[in-house]
Structure 1
Amino acid sequence: MLTVLIISIIIVFIVLILAVTTTSKAYTYKHTVDPIEDNPHLQSKLNEEEEQKKNNEAQ
């Protein structure tokens, strides 16, 4: 019984150390943002807005 308790405590500490290490690395990761010109979603949205303006002007 004592052996199982010791092994389970060791496993808990290993998982805790891995979780702290992973979280620490995640916070130090430098995220980047794509420039607006390269965003395909923005281009399609702008095209839709232009089409709506043309349709409104035609009416």
Structure 2
Amino acid sequence: MAIVFIVSLVIIFIILILSLTTTSKAYQYKHTIDPVDHHIATNDAKKQENDTEQR
């Protein structure tokens, strides 16, 4: 019975350490946003203006 308890505690601590490590790395990850291409944004705005004028 003691062996099962010890093995269970070891498994619990391994899972705890892995989850803390994963969470720590996730918070350290730097998220980036792609820059907006001005040329594409200008064309999209012109298309929207043309669509509203045609209605």
Gaps of 5+ in 2: none
Q: Encode CA deviations 1:5-32: one digit per residue, 9 max, x unaligned.
A: 1101100000000000111111111111
Q: Return the structure number with greater relative CO, CA threshold 8 A, min gap 6.
A: 1
Scaled by the length of structure 2, the TM-score of the pair is: 0.71
Scaled by the length of structure 1, the TM-score of the pair is: 0.67
Q: RMSD of aligned C-alpha atoms?
A: 2.6
Gaps of 5+ in 1: none
Give 1:48 shift. Answer: 5.8
User: Percent identity, aligned pairs only?
Assistant: 45
- Which residue identity does 1:53 align to in structure 2? T
Q: Count the aligned residue pairs.
A: 53
- Provide runs of 4+ in structure 1 moved above 2 Å: 45-52
